[in-house]
Amino acid sequence: MNFILQVPPYPVEVMVSIGQSDKKLFKCIDKWAVKKKEKKRLKESVKSDFADDVCYGIVHHLQDTGFIILRTDGKIKSAYYRGVLAHEIFHVVEEITTHAGVKHGRKSSEAFAYLTSYLTTEIYKRL
């Protein structure tokens, strides 16, 4: 499963990849509206994420761009793996807010909470 989320008002796009092989993910990256140089960097970044059998989810962000990939190995039907997805959504929120220059604190916590809720809702709609 693969889809792109727009995250208004933030200047980012999040590609969500669940249970895809590297090869299938690379095809999706090729279709993504990013520059050739960025596609190459993303592919290098995601290659064999799950080779060590310890990693169940991971987030990649090209720091100088607004392109983020949230990737899980696809076993999201159990409560444990849904927890892994929640964990990775949190990392996406960190990346988006860092990219936008928003620091976490009492005054900004609602922005973090709303963004977490938005991403979780949009991802779960597609599961």
Per-residue pLDDT of the chain (127 residues; tens, 9 = 90+): 999 999 989 888 999 999 888 888 888 888 876 777 777 777 777 766 655 555 677 787 776 677 888 988 777 678 888 888 999 999 999 999 988 889 999 999 999 999 999 999 999 999 8
pLDDT on residue 15? 92
pLDDT on residue 21? 84
CA dihedral 69, 74, 80, 85 (to 10 degrees): 20
Token code pair at residue 83: 């927890």
Q: What's the pTM?
A: 0.85
pLDDT on residue 65? 73
pLDDT on residue 70? 92
pLDDT on residue 96? 92
Helix (H, G, I), strand (E, B) or coil at 61: strand
Which residue, among 2, 6, 115, has the nearest Cα to 66 in the 3D structure? Answer: 6
